Structure 1
Amino acid sequence: MTYHTRKLLLSVAISIGLSGSAYAAEKIKFRYLTSQGGLSAHELAAELGYFDGTGITIENVGYATGGPASLIALASGDVEIGSAATSAVLNSIVGGNDFVAAYPSNGINDQVQSIFYVLEDSPIREIKDIADKSIAVNTLGAHLDYTIREALHSVGLPSDAANQIVVPGPQLEQVLRSGQVDVSAFGYWQTTFEGVAKQNGGLRAIFDDTDVLGDIAGGFVVLRRDFIADHPEAAKVFVEQSQRALDYAREHPEETKALFAKALAERGENPEIAKFFRGYGVRPGGQAVDRDLQFWIDVLVREGKLKEGQLAAKDILYTADAASN
């Protein structure tokens, strides 16, 4: 049976509520940490009922302060799902964790990107001006951290020339307006917070991550390789239905915002910010390409954290066929 045939049969089984198929033979709970102001594709898939009848349930066990914290929880076995920027995922793998990049959690493109804002009267106008300035980011060692490093490198400055300060997403606007930082970086996964800040006025964008990185996956949902080996069918269904939810979000943006608002309300967060959600920015089918990982592998080689040829994208990208073997 081909991969596409299996995927079609699974979709049919879910749509008519079958529970006795091979896809529902194993009951598996996937625990995860959620992100403030965010909604992952697997959370959306659950809201849409895509896991109904599959034996899969997902359980939110708290909030992650950032991608690295999510990966630590994954490595320790506290959760089955991790989610982090590609650079953080690769650093974790280099550090000895046997993780697999299951599907792109988000992408950056002309519609969805991380944006670096200053106050309108700030003297900061371009990338070279951020040297020696303070920049608010949600966490260190992840996407915004490495985007800043790459931005500085692109204009011939030391990659550590800016001072990065960790600030939770909901406070990014506040610390910028109060003058506690010179720049606030709103990640591609924080378009809800960025939308509110932009609506309030008085801010100016100086650059975004597509200016530095181009169109690329921003991060990945990550599974442990041993978990995939122990539960290949569950892993396959989880990935396929999460990718299906990514397609749904692109094709039904308003319906997705409504589900996003519902999920935020249930978590005790402000549902109004869901209207600023701009999508996940991933390719059709929720697929990754080698460059999504290879770009950052090459950066780690340049920084001396990896040897040339030590790691390749194909070594860590999830494939359905690999999960079946």
Structure 2
Amino acid sequence: MTLHPRLLLLSATLALGLGGTLAQAADSVPFRYLASQGGLSAYELADELGYFKDTGITLENVGYAAGGPASLIALASGDVEIGSAATSAVLNSIAGGNDFVAAYPSNGINDEVQSIFYVPEDSPIRTIKDLAGKSIAVNTLGAHLDYTVREALHSVGLPSDAANLVVVPGPQLEQVLRSGQVDVSAFGYWQTTFEGAARKNGGLRAVFDDTDVLGEIAGGFIVLRRDFIAAHPDLAKIFVEQSQRALDYAREHPEETKVIFAKALAERGENPDLAQYFRGFGVRPGGKAVDRDLQFWIDVLEREGKLKPGQLVAKTILYSADSASN
């Protein structure tokens, strides 16, 4: 998968603009990233809260990612310093030779925050078994929703490719479902803003969500390159700790977070009204990961033959202060 040319052009344009307008201190290190439409990451929230002030960390938004795999491609190529993707995509990328570290969970799925698979109210689709032969809109292939569908189908004894996945950008998920272009639209755990707006408009019914299939688990991770951590160990530590602090802030101050979210969306030229539907990041207190967050998907990938048994070990992938030497 490659970044869409329009995204690359936007990235380049924004990078040039930012480079000309932001005077960097001599000891400041840019942390470039690709934003998610309708979303706000913990590190963006941390920056808005002033957690990176005078730390030497300067965040630079250089465009939008078409999905987690595209974010990882940009990270591997050195176009950005921060990646973000579903756990399955991160593991696939590491298995493919990229020396990445899972810094902290970007989001989690639980009773409050999850990916929801919607159909029109009059749809004959009632259960996971009914997905066979149906079309499902997802934001990208090879990431969380893709693997959630595979695991859902496996859980009811169907082939993992029994449904047809269609790539649809988050802002269009509701439209393609209501117009009948797809049978199901999957709103990811990071797209609660789009899901909330669609639900408010009525006429839709949830078939299942990813907690029904996966349980409570981290949905994805913020990812850093190991060589970048080695070059900037102190800044990497600050970045992770202050981002985790922002995750706690969002859980403890949901309404204040929505105000910050709306401001960030407006500054990016997106609809700030979407912020009212933000339901949180869904991560554990402290923003920490546990081994199961990675091991669940390691086991799935081993079962599917995409990983050799023992090829990846959760504890060597998760960030620690000595990640650069692991």
Q: What is the TM-score normalised by the length of structure 2?
A: 0.91
Distance 1:52 1:205 in 2: 42
Q: CA deviation at 1:308?
A: 1.0
Aligned to 2:193: 192
- Matched-pair contact (CA < 8 Å) for 1:125–1:206: yes
Aligned to 2:14: none
Equivalent residue letter for 2:166: I
Q: Are residues 61 and 25 of structure 1, via their aligned partners in 2, closer, same or farther at CA, if it must alter by over 3 Å?
A: closer
Aligned to 2:60: 59
Aligned to 1:68: 69
Aligned to 2:205: 204
Aligned to 2:103: 102
Q: CA deviation at 1:126?
A: 0.4
Q: How does 1:40-189 map to 2 (within 5 A)?
A: 40-189=41-190
SS at match of 1:320: coil
Aligned to 1:249: 250
SS at match of 2:94: helix
Q: Could you list the runs of 5+ residues in structure 1 that have no partner in the other structure?
A: 1-23
Equivalent residue letter for 2:147: Y
* Structure 1 residues 19-55: Cα deviation after superposition (integer angstroms, max 9, x where no partner): xxxxx99421100000000000000000000000101
Aligned to 1:304: 305
- Matched-pair contact (CA < 8 Å) for 2:35–2:61: yes
Distance 2:141 2:29 in 1: 32
Distance 2:293 2:320 in 1: 15
- Matched-pair contact (CA < 8 Å) for 1:232–1:324: no
Equivalent residue letter for 1:54: T
- Matched-pair contact (CA < 8 Å) for 2:127–2:207: yes
Aligned to 2:228: 227
Distance 2:126 2:283 in 1: 29
Equivalent residue letter for 1:100: V
- Matched-pair contact (CA < 8 Å) for 1:253–1:279: yes
* Structure 1 residues 101-127: Cα deviation after superposition (integer angstroms, max 9, x where no partner): 001000000000000000000000000
- What is the aligned-residue identity percentage? 85
* Structure 1 residues 126-179: Cα deviation after superposition (integer angstroms, max 9, x where no partner): 000001000000000000000000000000000000000000000000000000
CA RMSD of aligned residues (A): 1.3
Q: CA deviation at 1:307?
A: 1.2
SS at match of 1:111: coil
SS at match of 2:151: helix
Distance 1:53 1:218 in 2: 31
Q: CA deviation at 1:324?
A: 8.9
Q: CA deviation at 1:199?
A: 0.1
Distance 1:276 1:324 in 2: 41
- Matched-pair contact (CA < 8 Å) for 1:236–1:323: no
Q: CA deviation at 1:309?
A: 1.1
Q: Could you list the runs of 5+ residues in structure 2 that have no partner in the other structure?
A: 1-24
Q: Are residues 322 and 97 of structure 1, via their aligned partners in 2, closer, same or farther at CA, if it must alter by over 3 Å?
A: closer
SS at match of 2:281: coil
Distance 1:312 1:283 in 2: 21
Equivalent residue letter for 2:304: E
Distance 2:45 2:324 in 1: 23
Distance 1:195 1:307 in 2: 40
- Matched-pair contact (CA < 8 Å) for 1:116–1:206: yes
Q: CA deviation at 1:245?
A: 0.3
- Matched-pair contact (CA < 8 Å) for 1:247–1:284: yes
Segments of 4+ in structure 1 off by > 3 A?
A: 321-325
SS at match of 2:161: coil
Q: CA deviation at 1:77?
A: 0.2
SS at match of 2:133: coil
Equivalent residue letter for 2:141: L
- Matched-pair contact (CA < 8 Å) for 2:226–2:324: no
Distance 1:264 1:242 in 2: 19
SS at match of 1:29: strand
Q: How does 1:263-302 map to 2 (within 5 A)?
A: 263-302=264-303
Equivalent residue letter for 1:38: G
* Structure 1 residues 164-201: Cα deviation after superposition (integer angstroms, max 9, x where no partner): 00000000000000000000000000000000000000
Aligned to 2:30: 29
Distance 1:232 1:324 in 2: 11
- Matched-pair contact (CA < 8 Å) for 1:86–1:143: yes
- Matched-pair contact (CA < 8 Å) for 2:106–2:221: yes
* Alignment length (residue pairs): 302
SS at match of 1:107: strand
SS at match of 1:269: coil
Equivalent residue letter for 2:71: S
SS at match of 1:241: helix
